Structure 1
Amino acid sequence: MSQSPSFPIPDPDLYSEEEIAQLVHTFYAKARKDPSLGPIFEGHVIDWDAHFVQMINFWSAQLRGTSRFRGAPMPKHIALPELSAALFERWLQLFHQTTSELGNPQLEQHANAIANFIAGRLWQGYQMSNYPDRRPVALQIV
């Protein structure tokens, strides 16, 4: 994925691998307990340990510029049944809450910008694939 000009450039000096692992584990602890998101994650993530490794690798690539992530998020999200803007917006709310609690303002700003962008793109792709005859609806990102 190319970096938008508004995205900070990944910098391994600004974020540690430990902070990224904490972000991923803390966020998913919240998401798994969430009444709307939890059942979706629990119904589709078979191996949580592998999922954590994949997500840590993803966020490490985005925030630190590492090259460990291998994956294609779009097809996996498009295949999920009955996603909605409200679910993506809830995901973002929990993500923003998590980043704000970590105590690193640069991490919070950078990770939130990427999460907002990715959620918007995944939701747009989901709508185009699953509802090709409808006009796409944008997420309400707060």
Structure 2
Amino acid sequence: MRSLENATPVPPRFDITADQIDAVVAEFYAVVRSHPGMGPVFAAHVTDWPAHEAKIARFWRNAILFERSYDGNPMVVHRAAGNVRSPMFDVWLGLFDSVLRRELAPETAAAWSALAHRIGRGLRMGVEDRDHPVPSLR
């Protein structure tokens, strides 16, 4: 059995730096805060924007760079929020894609967008399951 100290590092999903991830996250939340539909949804839950942005940047660095600095469960958070609805994910992803296209090279933006859409589909399904639970057949 190999120790973690000698393990070969996992290469990133695509070519990006931690600083670029931080910049995209900061720009995305600047856009979200000013968005008439999404701003109030996030404002209902986020009281410390710098801490939230740092946590979400850790999430993306974990998902893309395979860092082990994120500790959380996005599905639980989105389901528990109460005011997050399935159609909001299209808006969220549209805003995110626009930031990616402005901030990154086209190949990097496309790769991150594909990952975000895959994660978004899972979160959307979790929110839909909360809103439309399977009926008991007993």
**TM-score over 0.5 for the pair:** yes
Runs of 4+ deviating beyond 6 Å: none
Q: How many residues align?
A: 126
Contact 1:54–1:69 under 8 Å retained in 2: yes
Question: Unpaired runs of 5+ in structure 2?
Answer: 1-9
CA distance in 2, matches of 1:79, 1:72: 11
Name the aligned partner's letter for residue 74 of structure 1.
M
Contact 2:11–2:65 under 8 Å retained in 1: yes
Name the aligned partner's letter for residue 120 of structure 2.
A
CA distance in 2, matches of 1:43, 1:84: 14
Contact 1:85–1:123 under 8 Å retained in 2: yes
Aligned residue number for residue 93 of structure 2: 92
Aligned residue number for residue 105 of structure 2: 104
CA distance in 2, matches of 1:128, 1:10: 34
Alpha-carbon spacing, 1:99–1:13, altered in 2? closer, same or farther (3 Å): closer
Aligned residue number for residue 31 of structure 2: 30
Aligned to 2:87, the other structure's residue is in SS state helix
Q: Report the structure number with the largest CA radius of gyration.
A: 2
Aligned residue number for residue 116 of structure 2: 115
Flag the structure with higher helix content. Answer: 2
Alpha-carbon spacing, 1:64–1:127, altered in 2? closer, same or farther (3 Å): same
Contact 1:10–1:63 under 8 Å retained in 2: no
Deviations 1:88-107 (A, max 9, x none): 10000000000000132232
Contact 1:10–1:62 under 8 Å retained in 2: no
Name the aligned partner's letter for residue 37 of structure 1.
M
Deviations 1:21-59 (A, max 9, x none): 110000010011111100011110121121111111011
CA distance in 1, matches of 2:11, 2:90: 25
**TM-score, normalised relative to structure 1:** 0.80
Question: Unpaired runs of 5+ in structure 1?
Answer: 1-8, 135-142
Identify the range of structure 1 (30-39 vs 78-87) with the bigger mean alpha-carbon deviation. Answer: 78-87
Aligned residue number for residue 74 of structure 2: 73
User: Over aligned residues, Cα RMSD in angstroms?
Assistant: 1.9
Alpha-carbon spacing, 1:114–1:10, altered in 2? closer, same or farther (3 Å): farther
TM superposition shift of 1:10: 5.3
Identity fraction in percent:
29
Aligned residue number for residue 11 of structure 1: 12
